[in-house]
Amino acid sequence: MSATHRLTAPAPGWTATTDVVVVGSGVAGLTVALNVRKAGLRAMVVTKAVLDEGSTRWAQGGVAAALGEGDSPEQHLDDTLVAGAGLCDEEAVRTLVTEGPDAIRRLIATGALFDRGEDGEVLLTREGGHHRRRIVHAGGDATGAEISRALVAAVHTDPGIELIEHALVLDLLTDAEGHAAGLTLHVMGEGQRDGVGAVRARAVVLATGGMGQVFSATTNPAVSTGDGVALALRAGAAVTDLEFVQFHPTVLWLGPDAEGQQPLVSEAVRGEGAHLVDADGVRFMVGQHELAELAPRDIVAKAITQRMLEQGAEHMYLDGRHFGAEMWEHRFPTILASCRAHGIDPITEPIPVAPAAHYASGGIRTDRHGRTSLPGLYACGEVACTGVHGANRLASNSLLEGLVFAEQIAEDLAARHRAGELPERTVDVDAARAARPVPLPPSEARAEVQRLMSRGVGVLRSAASMADTAAGLALLAEQAAHVAEAKPADPRVDTWEAANLLLVATALVAAAAQREETRGCHWREDFPDRDDAHWRRHLITTLAASGDPVSTPEEQ
Ligand code: SIN
């Protein structure tokens, strides 16, 4: 069992109590909250921004499920396993693809309005790695926003779900048996629950989303600072597959120094027939893979990067001019608007695109019920690693994973509640006090972490580039410790976020440097081949007593 660490925080100024505390308000978090209510459990949803501000809202493409004629869960399973490059947990994928179609029907029953054809049937599109049309979408390219709208509306009608917005989660609280018993958090608001507080609960569910903000350019919103993975590591939980960061191939290129959240150009644009071309108009994906532009995402991202290197270009182009104005306006209104907002008109010109960090395929390790290695702590959605994505997530499997595994967690909690295995917990304050405090870096560390990570641990990486990044991150941690001794940094949201980013970046590099092969989302310049004999296995990361992340290959 790893040592536990905590963010330095003042003693909680207020407390609240519930049955299940859910951190995060994306599809996974809200689905857990709505479903535990069916078992008569009270839920509290804690979210860092406001209820509809998580990553779900930004999802454009859709949700994958075998709903079309001639399709089957088995075919969806095959495509998922191929994309996952040998590291998917096949049984977890089976749960995903067999439960998927009904989970979508239940989402429709909750109120989500998906796009339908003239015959009234739900429309299906294609994305990279799928051999069938199996992606449901809403508002053309605003699927996440519609799902979020429907779930938020359902949550608002349930008086048994309490909400705390503008709340950054800090650390896990446990009882004397080491069972999760609640959380500390910092609410940035006014009124009764302001500042650092504690929520006591019978179980804790983390659905905090991703960690894309460890890189300079990402499709993730500013709130995606790896808070859930950092919390889990500090609490002693195991995380896995952190090295498998997925880079989305087609992110609108806004210049060499563009930082922060970048506009996505959905795979569905390629699914509907747009071509990837270089500056000479050559379709470079043709002949590289049987699916050309619709190859799995890792293959397309690597091919774009390679072409950019060969030609000394800063980006490639996505050409959808042949769609015509009506298709752009009706099928891709969000993308059309965001391109035009940046001075590009996809109806008359190709869109400049380049890969950017998009999705963490790894995360807090869970079983098929969403249980982590710590009793009473569950995780689902992007923060979790259920095993369904392997080394590279298949497009549009993420919202589906959030839905399906949120339902699995709710079922597990309901069963434990019925069996009397989910009693009220007494928070062990001594356990919290015994944990070691993590020095807080100044908030400026955030930009430095992003710069180091983008330079050394992007699509292309090598032992040398990662050693530079690791040294830079170690220096930041050392400086934070020095400064903390002299004058502790203010415990504020930006310093806590900087501490979380520094920790998850350090853990990610530790795992990525160990994996001496090229698999899934990344490309090792010094180990260009996949090495199944040594590396067809996961790396499990925990924190050592020193606070340093340690990655250990799983036994084969
Ligand atoms: C996209 O629309 O291209 C993103 C979908 C996904 O990440 O699954």
Give the residue, by CA position, lying nearest to ligand 1 atom 1.
266
**Is the backbone of residue 40 left (phi > 0), alpha (psi -120 to 50) or beta?**
left
Give the model's pLDDT for residue 442: 86
Lowest mean pLDDT among 89-103, 486-500, 524-538: 486-500
Question: Any idea which residues carry the catalytic annotation?
Answer: 297
Lowest mean pLDDT among 269-283, 488-502, 527-541: 488-502
Question: Which pair of tokens denotes residue 193?
Answer: 């629950």
For ligand 1, the distance from its centroid to the CA atom of residue 59, given in whole angstroms, is: 6
**What would the pLDDT profile of 7-22 be if each residue is shown by its tens digit?**
877 888 999 999 999 9
> pTM score, two decimals?
0.96
294/131 Cα distance (integer angstroms): 9
Q: Which of ligand 1's atoms lies nearest the C-alpha of 61?
A: 2
Q: Report yes or no: 270 and 37 within 8 Å, Cβ to Cβ.
A: no
Give the model's pLDDT for residue 488: 65
**Which domains does the chain carry?**
16-244+361-430 (3.50.50.60), 251-355 (3.90.700.10), 437-531 (1.20.58.100)
Average pLDDT of the segment spanning 405-425: 97
For 1-53, where are the E strands, in sequence order? Answer: 5-7, 15-17, 20-23, 43-46
Q: Is residue 204 scored above 60 in pLDDT?
A: yes
Share of the chain above pLDDT 90, in %: 85
For ligand 1, the distance from its centroid to the CA atom of residue 136, given in whole angstroms, is: 12
216/213 Cα distance (integer angstroms): 7
For ligand 1, the distance from its centroid to the CA atom of residue 227, given in whole angstroms, is: 22
**Residue 172 phi/psi, 5° resolution?**
-80, 140
- Looking from the CA of 28 toward its CB, the CA atoms found within 13 Å total 31
CA-to-CA separations, 259 to 175, 219, 252, 413, 513, in angstroms, rounded? 42, 10, 12, 41, 25
| Test site for ligand 1: of 60, 147, 399, 521, most ligand atoms within 8 A of the Cβ | 60
Q: Which of ligand 1's atoms lies nearest the C-alpha of 399?
A: 8
The whole-chain average pLDDT of the chain stands at: 94
| Tokens 């090598």 sit on residue | 462
Q: Which of 448, 496, 495, 489 is closest to 472 using CA atoms?
A: 448
Give the model's pLDDT for residue 433: 76
Average pLDDT of the segment spanning 534-539: 97
For ligand 1, the distance from its centroid to the CA atom of residue 60, given in whole angstroms, is: 6
CA dihedral 334, 256, 396, 52 (to 10 degrees): -60
DSSP 417-441: HHTT--------HHHHHHSEEEPPP
**Residue 23 phi/psi, 5° resolution?**
-105, 115
**What would the pLDDT profile of 101-139 be if each residue is shown by its tens digit?**
999 999 999 999 999 999 999 999 999 999 999 999 999
Q: Exposure of 6 by Cβ count < 10 A (0-12 exposed, 13-18 middle, 19+ buried)? A: buried
For ligand 1, the distance from its centroid to the CA atom of residue 450, given in whole angstroms, is: 22
For ligand 1, the distance from its centroid to the CA atom of residue 218, given in whole angstroms, is: 13
Give the model's pLDDT for residue 3: 59
Average pLDDT of the segment spanning 506-516: 98
Give the model's pLDDT for residue 1: 41
Q: Is residue 191 scored above 70 in pLDDT?
A: no
Average pLDDT of the segment spanning 339-368: 97
548/6 Cα distance (integer angstroms): 13
**What would the pLDDT profile of 247-267 be if each residue is shown by its tens digit?**
999 999 999 889 999 999 999
Average pLDDT of the segment spanning 214-240: 96
Which residues, 6+ apart, have CB-to-CB distance to 81 below 8 Å? 88, 90, 93, 390
Which residues, 6+ apart, have CB-to-CB distance to 262 below 8 Å? 217, 218, 219, 251, 252, 254, 356
Q: Which of ligand 1's atoms lies nearest the C-alpha of 250?
A: 3
DSSP 382-398: TTEE-SSSTTSPPTT-H
Q: Which of ligand 1's atoms lies nearest the C-alpha of 358?
A: 7
Lowest mean pLDDT among 7-16, 137-146, 198-207, 439-448: 7-16
For the chain, how big is the Rg over CA atoms in Å?
A: 22
Give the residue, by CA position, lying nearest to ligand 1 atom 8.
396
3-state secondary structure of 280: coil
Give the model's pLDDT for residue 189: 77
| Test site for ligand 1: of 248, 262, 358, most ligand atoms within 8 A of the Cβ | 248
Q: Is residue 75 scored above 60 in pLDDT?
A: yes
pLDDT-derived band at 190 (thresholds 50, 70, 90) equals: low
Share of the chain above pLDDT 70, in %: 98
Q: Which of ligand 1's atoms lies nearest the C-alpha of 60?
A: 2
Protein residues whose CB sits closer than 6 Å to any atom of ligand 1: 60-61, 266-268, 359, 395-396, 398
287/164 Cα distance (integer angstroms): 52
**Is pLDDT larger for residue 492 or for residue 173?**
173
Q: Is residue 2 scored above 60 in pLDDT?
A: no
Give the model's pLDDT for residue 330: 95
**Is pLDDT larger for residue 437 or for residue 533?**
533
Question: Which pair of tokens denotes residue 450?
Answer: 């992003």
381/207 Cα distance (integer angstroms): 6
163/423 Cα distance (integer angstroms): 22
Q: Is residue 445 scored above 80 in pLDDT?
A: yes
Q: Which of ligand 1's atoms lies nearest the C-alpha of 397?
A: 8
**Residue 168 phi/psi, 5° resolution?**
-95, 125
Q: Is residue 490 scored above 80 in pLDDT?
A: no
3-state secondary structure of 251: strand
| Tokens 């040998």 sit on residue | 86
**What would the pLDDT profile of 40-60 be if each residue is shown by its tens digit?**
999 999 999 888 777 778 888
The one-letter code for the residue type at 220 is N
502/202 Cα distance (integer angstroms): 30
| Test site for ligand 1: of 126, 265, 267, 389, most ligand atoms within 8 A of the Cβ | 267
For ligand 1, the distance from its centroid to the CA atom of residue 47, given in whole angstroms, is: 23
| Test site for ligand 1: of 219, 396, 399, most ligand atoms within 8 A of the Cβ | 396
Containing 277, the helix (H) or strand (E) segment is strand 275-277
Average pLDDT of the segment spanning 348-374: 97
